[in-house]
Amino acid sequence: MMGNRIEDLEIYTLSDNFSNKIWFLVSEWDYFAKDTVGKQIVRSADSISANIAEGFGRFHYKENKNFCYFSRGSLIETKGWLNKSRVRGLIGEDKYQELLKELETIHHKLNIYIKYIGKKIIEQPGNDSMTQ
- Written as one string, the DSSP assignment of 43-58 is HHHHHHHHHHHHHHT-
Per-residue pLDDT tens digits for 34-88: 999 999 999 999 999 999 999 999 889 999 999 999 999 999 999 999 999 999 9
Distances in Å between the Cα of 24 and the Cα atoms of 9, 41, 64 are 23, 12, 29
**pLDDT confidence band for 118 (50 / 70 / 90):** confident
Q: Which amino acid is at 99?
A: L
6-121 fold: de novo design (two linked rop proteins) (1.20.1440)
pLDDT at residue 119, as a whole number: 80
Is pLDDT above 90 for 107?
yes
Instruction: Find how far residue 46's CA is from the centre of its chain.
Output: 8
Query: What CA–CA distance (Å, rounded) separates 63 from 27?
Result: 34
Q: What's the mean pLDDT in 96-109?
A: 98
Residue 3 main-chain phi, psi, to 5 deg: -100, -160
With b for 16 or more beta-carbon neighbours within 10 A and e for fewer, the 61-97 pattern comes to beebbbbbebbbebbebbbebbeebbeeebbeeeebe
Per-residue pLDDT tens digits for 123-132: 444 444 433 3
